[in-house]
Structure 1
Amino acid sequence: MAAGHHGNHQGPGGAEEAEHSTLIQGRYRLHELIGRGGMGEVWRALDESLGRRVAVKCLKPAGQARDAGFTRILQERFRREARVAAALQHRGVTVVHDFGEHDGVLYLVMELLDGRNLLQVLDDARRHPLPVPDIIDIAEQVADALAYTHAQGIVHRDLKPANIIRLSDGAVKICDFGIARLGHDIGFTSRLTGTGVAMGTPHYMSPEQIGASGEVDHRSDLYSLGCVLYELATGAPPFDLGDTWAILVGHRDNVPEPPRATRPELPVDLERLILDLLAKAPDDRPQDAADVGGRLKALRAGTGSPHTGAGPGPARGTAELPGWARQLTTGSAAASTRSRHTVNAPRHELTGAWSTRALQAGPRPGVLTELADRHAEGIDLARVGNWRQAYDLHTAVAAARDHAQGTEHPDTLASRYEAAYCLTGLGRTEEALQLYAYVGETRARVLGPDHPDTLAARHEAAYALGLLGRHLEAHQEYAEVLAARVRTTGPDHPDTLQCKHNLAFNLGRLGRTAEAHTMAVEVAEARTRVLGAEHPQTLVTRFEVGHLLGASRRWAEALDVYRDVAAVRTRVLGPGHPDTLAVDYEIGICLGRLGRSAEALTLYENLVEARTRTAGSTDAETLRARHALGVNLGRLGHWERALAEARDVAAVRERVLGHVHPDTLVSKREIAVGLGWLGRWSGALTVYHEVADAREQVLGPAHPDTLTSRNDEAQCLEQLGRSAEAQILYDRVAAQQQNGPQRL
């Protein structure tokens, strides 16, 4: 067993530890010392209140902490940092259960882990470097955890092998978030001269941590990760010079020896990533952990991994844990999903079919390779959401390829395709649709109508049509692409199933719910057979099955489906992952529709807390959860609380989204509902009227939501005894409804 943290030295584990039975705060019984380091000790303990085994880290302040004023400051900083650590909810971060102070000792209660830290792993191997698949697997998991924590604005500051634990099942967890800064406060710093050196461990410190003027941000953690990977790959850290000051000077001034100088079999791309992470200037390193993760995934696909075997791409028919699971993102509602058809085929040779001017003059040596590298860089930028930069880069590469290879060369079209993908990410869907249409038509002429790249462009065009609400046109496009996919690659090919999934989604948006449900069930069964029951694409389709069951008011069946999906995501991703929380939201909807509002209320209270902790109080999903919480408060008759919740949510949405945004208006309508149930009809009428006017302005007088709001107004007028005015509104609604459904 291993604690949530390992110090650099293990405790002796003799009779003294066996006999120790200190009880902290009347709850945590310390049993065995399992780690000791500069900042304190780690004990295996029992939480006697819950009966679970935990690790307790005891932090002992240095002598200056005896000063009462300093002690108060230290205690407050400890509480702040411990709250930060406790709020982190990610499978790659050690869970902090509790914290406090006992007899002058600060303590953290953490999960007790079954594994070894990387320092111990290397020592067990007698400092021999790890196999390449293990290095990539560990690096990918650490990068994923850092991407999460950095998104929360949290920098580790002391990432090192001793703070990274590999569990017996292969999972990796980072320990001691917030503790490095806390250690500086306590007095256990790594300063060598008294000034000028920030907190950190010398072998893994970034250059900016060494100088007092250096600004430390998330890129410092990436440098430390580079040091860790260098050590895993070679058996020694990059500047293993013995003298501490020489180590620091090495980080600041020296160029590290390339890892392949001592281990030639290392993949070139892995060496390049490690050296990029070890760049002296933060601006010269990868700019975020998600970028690092993307490069590692590409490397894993090329070299094999311990999860998927040696071949490129995922193994068919396997669950692929945990590699694919770390990329599972679906959003909070059932949705059509974008296929990512990036052209990875070998670069096309120049022929007269595409470019006569290229044959006449020819590009300068190396230009095509340079453009291919820039194209790949654009894909990486898009992968981490840098849509503007990615779009600009793809547009520039497309222009250069046009000049070098010709307007209709497949490489030029590939860059146009990626530029269109970025336009969708930027919300410029109409422009994206036009560009996809151009690429699809040109590819059909140059490559053939059934070529995979032609079908990829047409698929994305259909997706854009759906985003624009043009579902009938999207349906026709999806249907034609699906027929071609079945004809060319077969009914069970992943691309065929992706198209069929989106076609099912689109059928639902056309109101053809029964057909959509039948097709979604077929896709879910096929994906289960081809990809496995726990593959993310299988789960996305099952999520859509649940949504369609709900649309058919088959709430009990929908609840069963959502709960199955939630169980898998909880096991694979953890209970606090956004995708797990997305299913929880839908479970709450089902419970409310089934009249089980008390259960729904409890679920939404927990969901609001989790969303606030992970995404913030103004996040759209947090506000959706709060809205649903208010609805269930009303269903249970707690109208004062429901009204207060609706007002709070409406105020935030108005500030963040604007006063006529549909979500803002939904919240305002909920305010009116609450006022009505409390008998405050005059106030309700004012709000209903405001919502109806706003919807009429934005959606038009005949939109169903506008008509619903006018009906609300009329009912309010009746309650106030103003029946004649109510009848006028009812007549207006009836007249609009006689015009038939409006195409929006």
Structure 2
Amino acid sequence: MSTGAAALMAAGQRQEHQEYQGHQEHHGDRPGPGEAGGSGRPAGSGGHAAAQDGNDGTALIQGRYRLHELIGRGGMGEVWRALDESLGRRVAVKCLKPLGHSGDAGFTRILQERFRREARVAAALQHRGITVVHDFGEHDGLLFLVMELLDGRNLLQVLDDARRRPLPVPDITDIAEQVAAALAYTHGQGVVHRDLKPANIIRLTDGAVKICDFGIARLGHDIGFTSRLTGTGVAMGTPHYMSPEQIGNSEVDERSDLYSLGCVLYELATGRPPFDQDDAWSVLVAHRDTEPVPPSAERPGLPPELERLILDLLAKDPDDRPQDAADVAGRLKAMRAAASVTALPAPPAAPLPEWARTLATGPAARPARSAAKAAHHELTGAWSTRTVTPSADPGALAALDARQAEAADLGRIGNWQESYELHIAVATDRDRAQGTEHPGTLAARYEAAHCLTMLGRTDEALRLYAYVAEVRGRVLGPDHPDTLAARHEAAYALGTLGRHLEAHREFSAVLAARERTVGPDHPDTLHCKHNLAYNLGQLGRAAEAYTTAVEVADARSRVLGPEHTDTLGTRFEVGFTLGQAGRWAEALDTYREVAALRARVLGAEHPETLAARYETGICLGRLGRTEEALALYEELVALLTRTAGSADEETLRARQALGVNLGRRGHWDRALAEARDVAAIRERVLGANHPDTLVSKRETAVCLGWLGRWAEALTAYREVATAREALFGPDHPDTLTSRNDEARCLEHLGRTAEAQALYRRVAAHAADGPESL
């Protein structure tokens, strides 16, 4: 789904709103840019409610955070499921125990300082493997921390759910690799966790892993301060997972976290910690003085390399452990690759296998591991454009297959940069072993291009897709399915870059070839035709877009069924084209039908269901039914925040639409607060000059104008106009819109001569700009 901006005229100002979105379909199961997506995010851990407020007896902190349900309690406080009433999002609020619970003033000061340090350090950490901290502060003597609400189970709960049975080895290595990556980041920031344990590691419902509760994290160089804390006798960790140096009050660095990770992995592998005596003192002494029983004694058949890693992490002397988390992650990666090689079947012996003539439409972007194994072993065939070197023996090629499968797995969990680098490395090695034109080499480059797309490096992705398409066309033929798949992706990239006329030509050519080779109702044909319809809409050819989308929807309904997700996806596109044509009442009916069917087929909170409801709100707003639209968006913001996260693109887009409708109802103060918060999050996540960030900044300026704060609005409009000019050029429609905004602002400030000069400048650039298509 491409990010478009809809226009609303009010009081002489053109307001941009990220409201109306169409859907472009990406290859296979890949989401297109901006598609509603994501999975749940989870339960934070542990606070103490402030004074109760309101008739429902719930507590309200700082007039903003409504505490609803206690979801965890620890030595330092509690964690509550809460609602941020200002933003309408669900959060976890961690509260320090009220100060009156201890008569020791020194103890209280230490707890206060430790909590403040947690907040400052945690809020500065930005990594996919670390729980996001939104806010922190003090309320009536209560210290609190506001975190993302996660949808998952901590590892202690996972083990308890399994009745303390060990986890499968692939789960252990997957969890360990993600934790090691997060630790590598925090250690690089000079931060040591110091309390890593199963209860502080959350596994989300989508398989991602996050470390939470940097409650006793410390800056790596802040040894003196830590010693003072330790000198009070306050425990600086959890006995079952503490390193010997923590127990002995020695200098502690990142290798202490690696020891704790070893304790966690030992427990995941055996069902119990390495030292499980009855009292805490015995456990501490064992960490200091006793060698752990090898985990294979508790679990025969544990892979030796995994046992070796666990025991290396549990070395008493920090110098005998792995020296950094990146090294641990590398060893885990090697284990997974070796396991893949072991599991691969023998390569085919035929010198020119049948698959070379009948390849499918390209490997899936994120295959399940079983699917990856089934597909990847066939890349060991003897097709080569050069003499096969001794290095191209079956074992070496099997290793390449395993690395390619690993690269796909990295993409599956969102590690697109690592996935890209590994795909490129595999492509280079395949080039040497099998040849530049070998299908396996080209497949690796094709997947590398997809990674570039997911990294936002669309220009580079386009060049790589075009290269793969050219070579496949020469080697396999112009109508081969793999050639057409690469051309399709190149067209998609062109559309993402706003080069819609070029994209239209390429989609049309691919569509004609697919209709000729596999027929008009083949899924690949309809997939291409769907994207062609979307692109027609981007070209302003609304009538053609509508007709094409209806044809695809009818064909998919006939071939796949009226409730198939692909059918509903194209019916969604029909709603988009109706909106483009100004047929809002029909668009509203279409989106409502799609939303109802998706709720039945996929579930009420599925991202695609929520996307249809989002567009329903757009139609309601366009039809002047703003009260209904406002209620819908308030509900959507809460749902998306819970299911996709507060920084997710779809959550922010829903909040943008919520702000628009607040403005339509005249609630400009609330609309301004919403716009500013969305702009701040987008700037942090996407960058200051990302087009979506600039849309939110412009919305901020719009609100300031409606509030009569024209000087502030002028500053904001100029910032957006300058950024857009640098990003898009002086003739781009968005740049010209921003310059017009600036001119209107100058008029309101009585600076008429400057305004007129700017209007003339805009008119000149508009006359010189590209002709309408």
**Structure-2-length-normalised TM-score:** 0.57
Q: Residue 437 of structure 1 is aligned with which of 462, 466, 469? A: 466
Aligned partner of 1:409 in structure 2 is 438
1:340 alignment partner AA: A
CA drift of 1:155 comes to 9.6
Task: Return 667-676 or 270-279, whichever deviates more.
Answer: 270-279
Deviations 1:577-618 (A, max 9, x none): 9x9987776565444333344565577678889999999999
* Alignment CA distance shift 1:100-1:482 (3 Å): same
Q: How far apart, CA to CA, are the structure 1 residues paired with 2:650 and 2:45?
A: 37
- In structure 2, relative to structure 1, the CA distance for the partners of 1:173 and 1:704 (3 Å cut) is closer
Change (3 A) 1:725 1:107: closer
Residues 659 and 674 in structure 2, CA contact (< 8 A), matched pair in contact too: yes
Q: Kindly tell me: are residues 298 and 627 of structure 1, through their superposed partners in 2, closer, same or farther at Cα, counting changes over 3 Å? A: farther
Match of 1:346 in 2: 377
Per-residue deviation at 1:659? 7.8
Provide the residue aligned with 1:551 in structure 2.
Answer: 580
Residue 436 (structure 1) shift:
1.8
Deviation at 1:408, TM superposition (A): 1.6
Equivalent residue number for residue 636 of structure 1: 665
- Deviation of the 1:456 alpha carbon: 3.3
Tell me which of 283, 305, 310 is aligned to 1:244. Answer: 283
Contact 1:562 1:586 in 2 (8 A): no
Q: Write the distance in 2 (CA, Å) between the matches of 1:40 and 1:721.
A: 58
1:466 match: 495
- Cα distance change of structure 1 residues 728 and 38 upon mapping to structure 2, 3 Å threshold: closer
2:394 paired with 1:357: no
| Matches of 1:6 and 1:691, distance apart in 2 | 40
Q: 1:742 & 1:710 partners in 2: Cα distance?
A: 19
SS at match of 1:346: helix
**Offset at residue 117 of structure 1 (A):** 9.1
- In structure 2, C-alpha distance between the alignment counterparts of 1:379 and 1:445, rounded to whole Å: 26
Distance apart, 1:412 and its partner CA: 2.2
**Counterparts of residues 13-24 of structure 1 (less than 5 Å):** none
Does the CA-based 8 Å contact 1:556-1:594 persist in structure 2?
A: no
CA distance in 1, matches of 2:762, 2:75: 72
State the alpha-carbon separation in 2 of the partners of residues 597 and 506 from structure 1.
29
Measure how far apart 1:696 and its partner are.
7.2
2:16 alignment partner in structure 1: none
Give yes or no for the alignment of 1:399 onto 2:424: no
Residue identity in the other structure for 1:286: A
Give the AA of the match of 2:283: T
Gaps of 5+ in 1: 8-22, 45-54, 183-192, 303-337
Amino acid at match of 2:287: L
AA paired with 2:104?
Answer: D
The CA RMSD over aligned residues, in Å, is: 7.5
Letter in 2 for 1:473: E
**Partner residue, 1:560:** 592
Task: Report the residue type matching 1:66 in the other structure.
Answer: G
Query: What are the Cα deviations for residues 432-482 of structure 1, in whole angstroms up to 9, with x where unaligned?
Result: 323222222322343455555434322322222222322233234334545
**Aligned-residue offset at 1:710:** 7.2
Match of 1:595 among 624, 629, 637: 624
Report the AA paired with residue 397 of structure 2. L
- For residues 272-321 of structure 1, the C-alpha deviation after alignment (integer angstroms, 9 at most, x for no partner) is 998999885422233899x99x99x999x99xxxxxxxxxxxxxxxxxxx
When residues 587 and 620 of structure 1 are mapped into structure 2, their CA distance, relative to the original with a 3 A threshold, is same
Structure 1: distance between partners of 2:649 and 2:162: 48
1:74 to 111, 117, 124: 111
SS of the residue corresponding to residue 465 of structure 2 reads helix
| Residue pair 1:139, 1:229 contacting (<8 A) in 2 also | no
Hey, what does 2:531 align to over in structure 1? 502
Mapped to 2, the partners of 1:558 and 1:538 lie a distance apart of 13
Instruction: Please state how far the C-alpha of 1:215 moved relative to its aligned partner.
Output: 3.7
> Is 1:284 aligned to 2:327, yes or no?
yes
Query: Would you say the 8 A contact 1:339–1:498 is kept in 2?
Result: no
The Cα offsets for residues 380-439 of structure 1, whole Å up to 9 and x where unpaired, read as 555555555554444443333222222222222233323333443454433432322222
Query: Equivalent residue of 1:358, what SS?
Result: coil
Aligned residue runs from structure 1 range 226-237, under 5 A: 231=267, 234-237=270-273
Note the alpha carbon deviations across 1:30-69, whole angstroms, 9 max, x for none: xxxx99999499999xxxxxxxxxx999998999942134
Higher relative contact order, structure no. (Cα contacts within 8 Å, ≥ 6 residues apart) = 2
Shift in Å, 1:636: 3.2
Task: Say whether the 8 Å CA contact 2:495–2:503 is kept in structure 1.
Answer: yes
What is the SS of the residue equivalent to 1:357? coil
Alpha-carbon distance in structure 1 between the residues aligned to 2:697 and 2:536: 29
Q: Secondary structure at the match of 2:430?
A: helix
Paired with 1:638 and 1:36, the residues of 2 have a C-alpha distance of 37
Is the contact between residue 35 and residue 41 of structure 1 (CA under 8 Å) also seen in structure 2? no
Letter in 1 for 2:426: V
1: CA distance between counterparts of 2:384 and 2:537? 42
Q: Give the 3-state SS of the residue equivalent to 1:285 in structure 2.
A: helix
User: Per the alignment, do residues 678 and 136 of structure 1 end up closer, same or farther by CA in structure 2, a change over 3 Å counting?
Assistant: same
Aligned to 2:448: 419
* Distance in 2 of aligned mates of 1:642 and 1:727: 30
Residues paired across the two proteins, number: 650
Match of 1:456 in 2: 485
Q: Is the 8 A contact 1:647 1:668 kept in 2?
A: no
CA shift for structure 1 position 699: 5.5
- CA gap of 1:430–1:442, structure 2 versus 1, over 3 A, is same
Aligned positions of 1:95-244 closer than 5 A: 129=166, 177=213, 199-204=236-241, 213-215=251-253, 220=257, 231=267, 234-237=270-273, 244=283
What CA deviation, in whole Å up to 9, does each residue of 1:601-646 have, x standing for no partner? Answer: 5776788899999999999888766765654454334557767877
Alpha-carbon distance between aligned partners in 1 of 2:503 and 2:491, rounded to the nearest angstrom? 5
| 1:742 match: secondary structure | coil
Q: What aligned pairs does 1:637-716 form with structure 2 within 5 A after superposition?
A: 637-638=666-667, 664=694, 667-668=697-698, 671=701, 675=705, 678=708, 703-705=732-734
TM-score, structure 1 as length reference:
0.58
Sort the Cα spacing of 1:531 and 1:6 in 2 relative to 1 into closer, same or farther, 3 A: farther
What amino acid sits opposite 1:285 in the alignment? V
Identical amino acids, percent of aligned pairs: 55
Are the equivalent residues in 2 in contact too, given 1:160–1:225 (CA < 8 A)?
Answer: yes
Uncovered stretches (5+) of structure 2, i.e. residues with no partner: 1-42, 60-69, 81-91, 219-229, 315-320, 345-362
SS at structure 1 position matched to 2:376: coil
Match in the other structure for 1:331? none
Aligned to 1:48: none
After superposition, residues 34-45 of structure 1 pair within 5 angstroms as: 39=75
Q: 1:489 to 1:269 in 2, by over 3 A?
A: farther
In the alignment, which residue of structure 2 is the partner of 1:307?
none
Preserved contact between residue 79 and residue 100 of structure 1 (Cα < 8 Å):
no
